[in-house]
Amino acid sequence: MSLQTHLSQLAAKHDALERELHDAIQSLASDDLRIAELKRKKLHLKDEIERLRSGETLH
């Protein structure tokens, strides 16, 4: 898998988490723990994308 393909997949997962997080915040049934977990996962993906992009510019 190329780096660009991997970055695209991570970006798609990040976008999906953004939508899921938005829905969870809007839902009265969502709990704070679930929202915090989604935020953590989203941040982790963002960090991974930035790390890979930084490494890409070094090569």
pTM: 0.81
| Residue (of 40, 48, 42) closest to 17 by Cα position | 42
Average pLDDT of 5-9? 96
Cα separation, 45 vs 5, whole angstroms: 15
Dump pLDDT digits (tens) for 24-54: 999 888 799 999 999 999 999 999 999 999 9
Helix runs in the chain, H state only: 3-26, 32-58
Cα separation, 3 vs 48, whole angstroms: 12
